[in-house]
Chain A
Amino acid sequence: MNAIHPNRPPGAPERAEVAAGIDIVGLTKRYLTPKHETFTAIRDVTLRVEPGEFCAIVGPTGCGKSTTLAQVSGLERPSAGSVKVHDQLVDGITNGVSYMFQADALFPWKTVLGNVLIGPVLLGTPKKEATLLARDWLRRVGLAGFEDRYPHQLSGGMRKRVAMAAALINNPRILLMDEPFGALDVQTKAIMQNELLQLWEELRPSVLFITHDLDEAVALADKVVIMTSSPGTIKDVFDIDLPRPRGDVQKIRHEERFLELQGQIWESLKDEVTRAYKQSAGVAA
């Protein structure tokens, strides 16, 4: 492992030694709406992500995908059920997790370098080492020379790369991605997917990847989970047996097995999407 990660922050020796599996059992999350009604975001979600597995969650809007991630990260507490990471019950913030959001959660007041080195600094790594590490990561995501820019001076794709470097610099055991490429244009999205796959192959954290884009899910993941809406539950789980490394996500889209899997999953997803659409349209009318 050390050969692959020569720059692991010394402050976190145990991190990313082993990718951690995620065990979600009977997870339920209810919220109190402002009108004092209870709203069940997800009900009885049970899911296992193997260590080092890339798991994509697909489902219609508002089916509690993000809620599931929040429970895994420990930012929120489940109303019922449990989440175990590496056989340890999640209670408070989970160790060794990185988050990537759709809106790039970058500090607008920090430079690119400052944004990336925040991870090791929060772990107590000395500033000097953190800087070296951050520079190295910026080089890996192809942003060498942009260290002193501010986020607003970068393009959307470049900001995503900064967010990716910031998420991966601590060698997370688990990478939680909430529609990370949702706001990108098609070309940039494909490039970012390839880069993510490459970095993931190197580090092999477990990934929970939320997306609306079925093609994206099939191209990237080992396992695609379909969720239904209101309340969110798991409908189907598909294993994606496309060989690794996957190579170019643009090319894989034309392979027979890809189309076959994509067709199967779409059959399952289609009903949910139409149902969710009708519901929301009904609410709007």
Chain B
Amino acid sequence: MQEQTQAQAQASELKASARRSMNRRTISVWGGRAILAVIVIGGWQWFTTEGWVDKFFFGQPTEIWNSLVKLFTEGTAFGTIWENLGVTMQEAFMGFALGTLVGVVLGLLLGSNKYLSAVVGPYIRIVNSIPRIVLGSIFIVAFGLGTFPKVLLAAVLVFFVVFFNAFQGVREVDQNLVGNVRVLGASPLQVAIHVTIPSAMTWIIASLHTAFGFAIIGALVAEVLGAQQGIGLIISQAQGTFDPNTVFACMVIISVITLGAEALITLLEHKLLKWRPPNRSEAQAI
């Protein structure tokens, strides 16, 4: 009886000490992060205040904050910041969806069909090697200043990232698995549903992280090239009036949005890929 209680006490003691060491670790990590932020932002502020770095060109954290406040309270020449943000996000999300859809479908198709991939493959590589961002100018000229050319540019950038991953994902499918279900009587469609697509999903989802960043870039660049509304337009306007603080403010807004989208994609990743063994780095982080 006594031994049992002793063992219990030992176990709880062990748990408590483990928790304490984990807490210590968390505190030290967050402390380190805070110090790093203070050094970088504080240093920036200090250098520009002292005049060692010209704040006319490089902005200043406090001024950026003021610009942010101004953007949200007074709005811009093209409507409130929310309207502009909404336009940019709509373009980015639509481009993201379109590019992902086409990329996945074509990637799966070409990945599982040797003839098609042999015929189309070289052309895709050629198109991939040209600087696609320049297509933005063509789209603006061809389709005007509305939403469509932005969606198109974002989609083009997203497409290639997703396409190559889906393609590679299909190529990496375990041939034993394919053989196994074929022997069990699976039709080509069933092979795709049960083996190819779930197997390629790992690759596709991994590409979505990068792809979303590209969707934002596509939308922003197209707006800078020519738009009636959007964050890109605010940026290009700020550039015209030598106002680096507003440019930085727009960068902050976009990064917050991108981080949010990234978190959503990670959530989706965890949901769809819950079968995967836990990441080694995740396990170590405990």
Name A residues whose Cβ lies closer than 8 Å to a Cβ of B: 70, 73-75, 93-95, 97-99, 101, 103, 105, 107-111, 118-119, 122-123, 150, 152-153, 170, 176
The contact sample of 8 A-B pairs, CB cut-off 8 A, is A73-B183, A75-B179, A99-B179, A107-B177, A109-B201, A118-B181, A118-B194, A152-B275
Q: Which residues of A contact B201 (CB under 8 A)?
A: 109
Within 8 A of A (CB), among B259-286: 273, 275-277
* Interchain CB contact under 8 A, B183 and A109: no
Q: Which residues of B contact A107 (CB under 8 A)?
A: 177, 194-195, 198
The verdict on B174 contacting chain A, using a C-beta distance below 8 Å, is yes
Q: Which residues of A contact B194 (CB under 8 A)?
A: 107, 118, 122
Q: Out of B174, B184, B273, which one reaches A122, CB within 8 Å?
A: B184
* Interchain CB contact under 8 A, A93 and B275: no
A255 to chain B, nearest CB (A): 35
Q: Out of A101, A123, A153, A170, which one reaches B176, CB within 8 Å?
A: A101
- Of chain A, the residue at the smallest CB distance from B186 is A122
* Interchain CB contact under 8 A, B184 and A105: no
Q: Out of B177, B182, B199, which one reaches A93, CB within 8 Å?
A: B182
CA–CA, A152 and B177, complex, Å: 16
CA–CA, A94 and B133, complex, Å: 52
* Interchain CB contact under 8 A, A119 and B184: yes
Within 8 A of A (CB), among B206-264: none
Q: Which residues of A contact B199 (CB under 8 A)?
A: 109
The verdict on B122 contacting chain A, using a C-beta distance below 8 Å, is no
Q: Which residues of B contact A105 (CB under 8 A)?
A: 174, 176-177, 179-180
Q: Which residues of A contact B181 (CB under 8 A)?
A: 118, 122
* Interchain CB contact under 8 A, A98 and B183: yes
* Interchain CB contact under 8 A, B190 and A122: yes
B172 to chain A, nearest CB (A): 13
A15 to chain B, nearest CB (A): 10
Interface size class of B (residues with CB under 8 A): 20 to 34
* Interchain CB contact under 8 A, A75 and B277: no
Q: Which residues of A contact B182 (CB under 8 A)?
A: 75, 93
The verdict on B185 contacting chain A, using a C-beta distance below 8 Å, is yes
CA–CA, A152 and B279, complex, Å: 12
A152 to chain B, nearest CB (A): 4
CA–CA, A150 and B276, complex, Å: 8
A243 to chain B, nearest CB (A): 32
- Of chain B, the residue at the smallest CB distance from A108 is B275
Q: Which residues of B contact A101 (CB under 8 A)?
A: 176, 179-180
Q: Which residues of A contact B179 (CB under 8 A)?
A: 70, 73, 75, 99, 101, 105
CA–CA, A123 and B277, complex, Å: 30
Within 8 A of A (CB), among B81-133: none
A146 to chain B, nearest CB (A): 14
Q: Which residues of B contact A176 (CB under 8 A)?
A: 183
Q: Which residues of B contact A152 (CB under 8 A)?
A: 275-277
CA–CA, A152 and B276, complex, Å: 7
Q: Which residues of B contact A74 (CB under 8 A)?
A: 183
Most buried by A among B179, B181, B277: B179
Most buried by B among A74, A118, A153: A118
CA–CA, A260 and B275, complex, Å: 48
CA–CA, A108 and B198, complex, Å: 10
CA–CA, A101 and B186, complex, Å: 18
A185 to chain B, nearest CB (A): 21
CA–CA, A94 and B174, complex, Å: 21
A208 to chain B, nearest CB (A): 13
B186 to chain A, nearest CB (A): 5
B79 to chain A, nearest CB (A): 46
CA–CA, A247 and B68, complex, Å: 80
* Interchain CB contact under 8 A, A170 and B275: no
Contacts A75-B182, A93-B185 supplied; 20 other A-B pairs, CB < 8 Å: A73-B183, A74-B183, A75-B183, A94-B183, A97-B183, A98-B183, A98-B184, A99-B180, A105-B177, A105-B179, A107-B177, A107-B198, A111-B275, A118-B181, A118-B194, A119-B184, A122-B186, A122-B190, A123-B184, A153-B277
Q: Out of A70, A103, A109, A123, which one reaches B185, CB within 8 Å?
A: A123
CA–CA, A211 and B201, complex, Å: 34
CA–CA, A110 and B190, complex, Å: 15
Q: Out of B183, B195, B275, which one reaches A99, CB within 8 Å?
A: B183
With contacts A75-B179, A99-B180, A152-B276 taken as known, whether A109 is within 8 angstroms of B198 at the C-beta atoms is yes
Q: Which residues of B contact A103 (CB under 8 A)?
A: 174, 176
CA–CA, A118 and B180, complex, Å: 11
B218 to chain A, nearest CB (A): 31
A188 to chain B, nearest CB (A): 20
Ranked nearest first, the 7 interchain pairs of A and B with the lowest CB-CB distance are A105-B176, A152-B277, A105-B180, A109-B275, A150-B275, A99-B183, A109-B198
CA–CA, A231 and B154, complex, Å: 55
B268 to chain A, nearest CB (A): 15
- Of chain A, the residue at the smallest CB distance from B180 is A105
- Of chain B, the residue at the smallest CB distance from A74 is B183
Q: Out of B174, B184, B275, B277, which one reaches A118, CB within 8 Å?
A: B184
B 64-90 to A, binary, CB cutoff 8 A, 1 in contact else 0: 000000000000000000000000000
CA–CA, A160 and B269, complex, Å: 28
A162 to chain B, nearest CB (A): 12
